[in-house]
Structure 1
Amino acid sequence: MKGILSIQSHVVYGHAGNSSAVFPLQRMGFEVWPIHTVQFSNHTQYKEGWTGRAFNAQDISDLVDGINNIGQLTNCEAILSGYQGSAEQCLAIKASVEKVKAANPNALYVCDPVMGAPDKGCIVAPGIAEHLINTLMPMADIIVPNQFELSQFADMAIESLEDAIKACQVALSKGPKMVLVKHLHSVSDEKFSMMLATAEGCWLAQRPHLPFDKQPVGVGDLISALFTGQFLAIGNAVEAFAHCNDACYAVLKATADRGEWELQTIAAQNEIVTPTERFELQAL
């Protein structure tokens, strides 16, 4: 039974981390093996706070070892990592990726390098950003940074489309084969922008902004999952990128239409597979 190992945060209520990624991947037809780096009652932007804790890094290693003991790492098609609760967890991710790739050299490693956004109430523990930049992102096949995370990895400011293209080229030179920038806020005020960069070129995806009183959380986790699943399904990065943009917009539209804050992945489940609205990519 082939599957995707998803090592991310988890919330009991709502949709962020694995709670945002696992169901869409399952709806796309994949078995998903989730390992939680933290378990919180809800995401961290609720003014009332949250409860829960980060897990020990050894828990990640132990669970991967358990899967290996039953001979299933050979069936792991991809490792998807997201929010990490400690610097030690980053090292456990590194070891886990190496173990999976030893069992299945064709397995992809997709790294969503969550470095935190203090303005949004998302804080990461000391040492995580450094491990992401120096260890996990260079060893990944695909990275899914936002504009800030890309600027940290490329070690340059991004203030224009041209800067973003250059930063992606720098990122590709450091190891990854693909860069999906999940949010490029400097490119347009009118539209939500994402970029895909590979050795073959760069593509820009844009979709309308939707009205929210409070911006939904877990969108980046959804983007990483949608792209990973579609790329595994069809093997074409550009087409997978277009699908990812379309399906993410459909989920957000369903969320806005219902006046909700939490992503409406269940309500929009059919759109995850076959989005109604399509947006053309721009080759750069």
Structure 2
Amino acid sequence: MINVLSIQSHVVFGHAGNSAAVFPMRRLGINVWPLNTVQFSNHTQYGHWTGSAIDAQQMSDLVDGMGAIGALPRCDAVLSGYLGAPEQAEAVIDIVRAVKAANPHARYFCDPVMGTADGCSVAPGIEAFLVENMPEVADVLMPNHGELQRLVGREIETTEEAVIACREVLRRGPALMLVKHLLDRNSPADRFNMLVVTPDEAWVAQRPLYPFARQPVGVGDVTSAVFVARLMLGDPLRHALEHTLAAVNAVVKTTWDAGRYELEIVAAQDQIARPREWFDAWAVDTV
């Protein structure tokens, strides 16, 4: 059994952070150890929420407790997402080092959540810390388009420019990058693009973009979760991308068909494991 330590937010109502990521990984056969960085009533794009971040020292203490019972050598991967404070980001790096000391084969997947202008709120200092530190630590980095732009400090308008930007970040340390939502000025407006890049490969794929009045939150968290699961289960890179895109499409389409705002993750669970629709990826030539 593959074990993933998932360090993300938790919402009591709805699906974001671990509340969006844990179930898909488990449905795919991955054992998940959730470590919740915050406990919120609901995600922040509602405009009102209650709750708080846990203390960074408590995060470290919880992992130390796992180490004390001999669990850390069984940890195959760490996934981090939404963090409530820069001190939590520092704690994540310490946790990754502790896990890798116990299991040198463990991989660190970083979803560098930096916040958005349309309502995803992160604490001051988080973005700078992620940009300055996480590429040197992460084995796999999973930004969205805006986060990739912030990682390289410039605008990106095409898939080819995104591949070049990803490889610039790869030179800082990661072996692989997933761009969870890629914006391409040449892509049809009704398509949603995803991109994976290594030093030697680049694959892009598209699914439909459903015209929600407001886009559901947690799609990126489901995306990261499924991608981590498929890679840890041994999928080749292209297949991991295609399964991730198809599974996320199933979740979003089920949500759209139901007329919901919160993701219908449980209703779409069988298609997370065995998607009915598939979207073939194609190689990107940047020469």
TM-score bracket for the superposition, by shorter chain length? over 0.9
Contact 2:251 2:264 in 1 (8 A): yes
Contact 1:182 1:223 in 2 (8 A): yes
- In structure 2, the residue matched to 1:90 is 89
Mapping of residues 1-284 of structure 1, within 5 Å? 2-47=2-47, 49-118=48-117, 120-187=118-185, 188=187, 189-284=189-284
The two structures, once aligned, show a CA RMSD in angstroms of 1.1
State how far apart, in whole Å, the 1-side matches of 2:121 and 2:19 are.
19
Contact 2:10 2:37 in 1 (8 A): yes
Q: What's the CA shift for 1:130?
A: 1.6
State how far apart, in whole Å, the 1-side matches of 2:160 and 2:236 are.
25
Letter in 2 for 1:163: E
Q: What's the CA shift for 1:106?
A: 0.7
State how far apart, in whole Å, the 2-side matches of 1:67 and 1:205 are.
39
Q: What's the CA shift for 1:243?
A: 0.4
Contact 2:190 2:210 in 1 (8 A): no
Number of aligned positions between the proteins:
282
Letter in 2 for 1:18: N
Contact 1:8 1:17 in 2 (8 A): yes
TM-score by length of 1: 0.97
State how far apart, in whole Å, the 2-side matches of 1:130 and 1:149 are.
11
Q: What's the CA shift for 1:126?
A: 1.6
Q: Per-residue CA shift, 1:128-169, capped at 9, x if unaligned?
A: 112111212321010100111111112222012221111011
State how far apart, in whole Å, the 1-side matches of 2:137 and 2:281 are.
28
State how far apart, in whole Å, the 2-side matches of 1:138 and 1:216 are.
31
State how far apart, in whole Å, the 1-side matches of 2:154 and 2:63 are.
36
SS at match of 2:45: coil
SS at match of 2:227: helix
Contact 1:115 1:124 in 2 (8 A): yes
Letter in 1 for 2:89: C
State how far apart, in whole Å, the 2-side matches of 1:198 and 1:242 are.
16
SS at match of 1:110: strand
SS at match of 1:124: coil
Structure 1: 5+ residue stretches without partners: none
SS at match of 1:58: helix
State how far apart, in whole Å, the 2-side matches of 1:254 and 1:93 are.
34
Q: What's the CA shift for 1:2?
A: 4.3
State how far apart, in whole Å, the 1-side matches of 2:62 and 2:107 are.
19
Large movers: runs of 4+ above 6 Å: none
Letter in 2 for 1:50: W
Letter in 2 for 1:94: I
State how far apart, in whole Å, the 2-side matches of 1:35 and 1:4 are.
10
SS at match of 1:182: strand
State how far apart, in whole Å, the 1-side matches of 2:2 and 2:29 are.
11
TM-score by length of 2: 0.96
Q: What's the CA shift for 1:272?
A: 0.5
Q: What's the CA shift for 1:46?
A: 1.5
Greater shift, 178-187 or 225-234, is seen at 178-187
Contact 1:5 1:80 in 2 (8 A): yes
1:230 to 1:2, Cα distance in 2 relative to 1, 3 A? closer
Structure 2: 5+ residue stretches without partners: none
Q: What's the CA shift for 1:205?
A: 1.1
